[in-house]
Chains A and B, each alone.
Chain A
Amino acid sequence: MTIAVDIRHRLGDFTLDAGFASEGRLTALFGPSGSGKSSLINLIAGLIRPSQGRIEIDGRVLADTGKGVFVPRHKRRIGMVFQDARLFPHMSVKNNLHFGRWFTPAGERYVELDAVVELLGIGALLERRPGKLSGGEKQRVAIGRALLASPRLLLMDEPLASLDEARKAEILPYIERLRDEMRIPIVYVSHSIGEVARLASDIVVLHNGRVAACGPTVEIMQRLDLLPADERGEGGAVLETTVAHHDEAFGMTVLGSAAGEIRVPRIDVAVGALVRVRIRARDVMIATERPKGLSALNILQGKVAAIDKGAGATAEVRIDCNGAAVVARITEQSRQGLKLEPGLPVFAVVKTVSFDQANTAAGLRGEADV
């Protein structure tokens, strides 16, 4: 599955000039509001006709202004999940789910109602009307409705933005299951670093209508300069790990990674399973010798790989821990005090409790393409 987009599109004063190609299982379009990510996804869905450019999905040209090609939205077979669910108010949940199926030729249906109902846990809602559903339920039905049209590609436009934290936590595992069990390629629009770090295999960073960076999640997340200034500390390392064992006595799970053992609060995942953890740059301390008498449990040995002095009083230090990168955000004073320079052996220190539920998620299962 390849997605290749190269678009120039004017919307009033705003110009979207974006090109990217991705083969990822879940490609996140990431950027602040107004960066053009929703316009970009609407262009892919065919809801907007581009002024100029080309869109190709899996070898099929959906739009090419040079050749006068524009496939209308209903012929694209691209499912879309909107921020506001957009369920049809005059139909029951069941008929909403069946909607896309009616318009899918029998030979091209690869998604079954029972499977979707089971996957999304919406069996009890089938006879209800959309007006009687909670926000999280609506969004799950909207995902199911898009899936049942057997799309070649699923677009999700900030599907969690209008939900509270509890509802977000309710939906996230379902999106992981889509990615790993249904294996539908997904393009996911979000301005939340947490969601993107957790879900994406690849990230396209948009800024003012332009692509600022594009690449695998692990690489992009280390580049704190791509994040909005007030959220830099939220970025950091994303590590793909496996569950080594559970420490029942202390209620912890021990994860094995290239960087070494990482202890996180107990998670309910089988030993050997893949788990993705995000280590926020602001949660990482640096020591020049192995610390003693310290409460933090995760001490990863490595070498300073690069230092970005940044603009103000902070510096971002990238530490190479046996091939895996960990990023630390420290003050410029500390950096000078410790005389940190590239090549210096150091220890990265991370508290176990800084791994909350939102920072540990199911890793991408199946063929590893991360």
Chain B
Amino acid sequence: MDWLLDLTPDEWNAVRLSIKVATVAMLASVPPAIFIAYALARWRFWGKTVVNGIVHLPLVLPPVVTGYLLLLAFGRRGPAGAFLAEHFGIVFSFRWTGAALACGIMGFPLMVRAIRLSIESVDRKLEAAAGTLGANPLWVFTIVTVPLILPGIIAGAILSFAKAMGEFGATITFVSNIPGETQTLPSAIYTFTQVPGGDEGALRLTLISIAISMLALVASEVLARKVGKRMDIE
């Protein structure tokens, strides 16, 4: 069993990096995902179909295409990349932040879908009741709508996290496969399978990958049950 826990520094780096990238991708996605999901569920606006299509694009495009588009837009010479680097000092290309961006984008449609479904199932009469009690729309959203859609937010966040843990194509296309900077678990496993005698390392990382994903699933179950119990909607 020793070989299982005896990770090389590069392998540890890959595990740590993957968790960091997935966590950042998930957390950074939540606010925009709630906003987009709310807009799609509640508002009527011109171009709604287009917005919906763009949000879902990463789900249907080959990941490599998404990665390449990110490279074009957020690369050093890309319009968005150059702007962000110049004004905010944020650089995505060949950095772990780029991996997080790629993972966040790939998981975004999953998160938006989960949150949108829960917003659509919110009883709007409760929001109307909150309004008659003196709460303005922003307060209604914060203390009535958000708590009611919390199970959907948790489900969406876990989906996004799991997607980020497994994301490979867009990440490797956009930020390459640099050990210690952009080499996440899938890239590391892929690298192991490309070299002779890498089977042991690939298996180790595969098992760790499975463990982390299982843990995330169990955590979401526990959280969702806790929230559900609070609302007596189990």
Contact = CB atoms under 8 A, between A and B. Distances in A.
Contacts of B136: 72, 74
Interface residues of A, number: 30
A132 B231 CA distance: 10
Interface stretch (A10-18, A76-84, A167-175, A197-205): A76-84
A79 B132 contact: yes
B227 to A, nearest CB: 8
A130 B233 CA distance: 11
B126 A145 contact: no
A100 interface: yes
Contacts of A227: none
Nearest to A103: B134
A146 interface: yes
Contacts of A359: none
B125 A73 contact: no
Contact of B144 (A80, A88, A100, A146): A88
Contact of B231 (A47, A77, A89, A99): A89
Interface string A51-85: 00000000000000000000011111111101010
Contact of B233 (A102, A131, A145): A131
Interface string B52-66: 000000000000000
B125 A82 contact: yes
Given A89-B231, A131-B231, A131-B232, A99 B132 contact: no
A88 B144 CA distance: 8
A73 B232 contact: no
A73 to B, nearest CB: 4
Interface of A: 45-47, 72-80, 82, 84, 86, 88-90, 99-100, 102-104, 129-132, 145-146, 149
Interface of B: 123, 125-126, 128-137, 139, 144, 147-148, 230-233
Given A72-B131, A88-B129, 5 more contacts: A73-B128, A74-B136, A79-B132, A79-B133, A89-B126
7 contacts: A46-B132, A47-B131, A74-B135, A74-B136, A75-B134, A90-B231, A129-B231
